[in-house]
Amino acid sequence: MEKIVNGVLMTAALLAASSQVEAKKPKHPNVLFILADDYGWMDLGCMGSKFYETPNLDRLASEGVKFTNAYSACQVSSPSRASLMTGKYTPRHGVTDWIGEKSGENWRKMKRHSKLLPADYAWNLPANEYTIAECLRDNGYTTFIAGKWHLGDEGSWPEDHGFMINKGGWSAGSPTGGYFSPYKNPKLEDGPAGENLSIRLGKETVNFMREHKKKHNNKPFFAYLSFYAVHGPLQTTKENWSYFRDKAEKMGIADKAFEVDRTLPVRQVQDNPVYAGVIKEMDDAVGMVLDELKRLGLDENTLVIFTSDNGGVTSGDSYSSSQLPLRGGKGRQWEGGIRVPAMMYYKGCNAGSVCDVPVIGTDFYPTILDYAGLEMHPEQHKDGISIMPVLKEGAKPERSLFWHYPHYGNQGGEPSSIIRKGDWKLIYYYESNHSELYNLAMDLSESEPLNVQFPDKVKELEGELMAWLDEVDARKPVADPLYDPKKEAEVKKNWRTKTLNAQEKSRKKMLQKDWQPNANWWKSMTTVD
């Protein structure tokens, strides 16, 4: 009898201990989503860059899965960010251009004298959208953002869309105070003079993970590290500039670096030492966060995603980089504008593997829910699919991908809509009401349209694209009745001559040994530990 009682007591004790252990385990995995800004497909060492140095992102690729056919949902930032948050294509949530850009008749103030007036668009992420942050918060996650938001003015900031802790996310789409403190950011306290913004955002994320584990070890978190890097205006330390300037010289500085492609000059070489420094600082911050994730033992139960909000800047803005062999860059309708780097890590993934199945920004919402074992919300993330069956089961979903940008880009992009189906890609242009057909397997650089050779494919894809545009009730640009072709021709002539010459001159000056942007730049950016 005594043995039976003791056995019962021992069993009860073991069950109680087991329950305590289970109580300490997070019910769902953590999610660390790292988003770069304007970071191109060819801007990483693991994607083939010989100039930029990204050891921490390369490590993430070697420990996780690298996607070679990953896309943003738009060629500019606000729309693609809204799609990440909602799981919807841009016409559905209404944010189709970067928030702040002119549209309709106000577009004339830009003095571009364009044929069309760009479509109007939403200036705030709609309040009725159930964001991934809201969904995870409602499922017991602590939600945190460090960095860029750019999805509306006050009242439509991160805390209004599901984020419980906000460090640096507000209306602005670029680092208002530059990349060194003081930041001029109402949601981020200034650090000591010279503190780097990317490093600061990395530290904020590290501190959040430490505090969260200390206080809420049995509660999962969603950390959204959304860098302002590598968006202009570009700034780095003198040490970084000097290092990469010397590297460019050793690699051989090309006499010319720009070519005009339809509209603006486009950079053809990677040798911008300031841009390389901005990349290095962001990569250092990524390394800091990944190291801390491992030190805390959180890598065993955390899904890590890295990607960019659109392609790299090859023209317009800071004319930062080249995405060759991809054509174009940010703001443009070609692959350089929408194809982006992407990696994913989780415990048990096929480390170092490469996935060439096309995926898009709308896929991350359902992927996170799927991996976390949470209920799907197909009425919300209706334009995304979970990537997990692709990675775990080798699934190859048959679907078409769509883009809609009824605007003119600062970087030379033209009002257009796009469909990719298999290896085929069709771009429809609103100025001319004609399409260009490409086969990406045969011509990744989109150098030669195949309309004449494959008229049936043009008809098929145009029909599917137009049907989709009707389905999502897409807003379209309209003809400007005040259009003056002579004035537009003069603008484009200046781009082909004055802008081209100015960019070549600026590039060569930046690569000189005695270069500095102004008398106080280096002094104001002293490196801070």
Radius of gyration of the chain (CA): 24
pLDDT in tens, 492-506: 999 999 999 999 999
φ, ψ for residue 35, nearest 5 deg: -120, 125
Q: Please tell me the distance from the alpha carbon of residue 4 to that of residue 54, in angstroms, as a whole number.
A: 63
484, 114 Cβ separation under 8 angstroms:
no
Q: Please tell me the distance from the alpha carbon of residue 33 to that of residue 387, in angstroms, as a whole number.
A: 15
pLDDT in tens, 49-102: 999 999 999 999 999 999 999 999 999 999 999 999 999 999 999 999 999 999
What H or E segment, with its residue span, contains residue 146?
strand 142-147
Q: Please tell me the distance from the alpha carbon of residue 98 to that of residue 443, in angstroms, as a whole number.
A: 30
pLDDT in tens, 386-438: 999 999 999 999 999 999 999 999 999 999 999 999 999 999 999 999 999 99
Domain 29-396+484-513, classified CATH 3.40.50.300, yes or no: no
Q: How confident is the model at residue 192 (pLDDT cuts 50, 70, 90)?
A: very high
Between the CA of residue 447 and those of 299, 312, 437, what are the distances in Å? 43, 19, 11
**Cβ atoms within 10 Å of 64's Cβ, excluding its own:** 22
Q: Please tell me the distance from the alpha carbon of residue 270 to that of residue 292, in angstroms, as a whole number.
A: 31
pLDDT of residue 216: 85
pLDDT in tens, 379-394: 999 999 999 999 999 9
pLDDT of residue 517: 83
> 149-158, 208-217, 489-498: lowest mean pLDDT where?
208-217
Q: Please tell me the distance from the alpha carbon of residue 239 to that of residue 354, in angstroms, as a whole number.
A: 35
DSSP string, 167-216: ES-SS-SS-TT-SBS----TTS---STT-BHHHHHHHHHHHHHHHHHHH-
pLDDT of residue 16: 47
* Residue 23, pLDDT above cutoff 50: no
pTM summary value: 0.93
Residue spans of the domains in the chain: they are 29-396+484-513
pLDDT of residue 201: 98
DSSP string, 378-426: TTTSTT---SHHHHHH------EEEEEE-S--TTS--SEEEEEETTEEE
Work out the angle at residue 217's Cα, subtended by the Cα atoms of residues 212 and 223, and round it to the nearest 5 degrees. Answer: 40
One-letter amino acid at 69 equals N
Q: Are strands 353-355 and 258-260 parallel, antiparallel or unpaired?
A: unpaired
Q: Please tell me the distance from the alpha carbon of residue 382 to that of residue 380, in angstroms, as a whole number.
A: 5
φ, ψ for residue 139, nearest 5 deg: -105, 20
- Among residues 80, 288, 180, 209, which one has the least CA distance to residue 522? 180
Reduced to 3 states (helix: H, G, I; strand: E, B; else coil), residue 137 is helix
316, 38 Cβ separation under 8 angstroms:
no
Q: Please tell me the distance from the alpha carbon of residue 231 to that of residue 313, in angstroms, as a whole number.
A: 8
Q: What is the DSSP letter of 484?
A: -
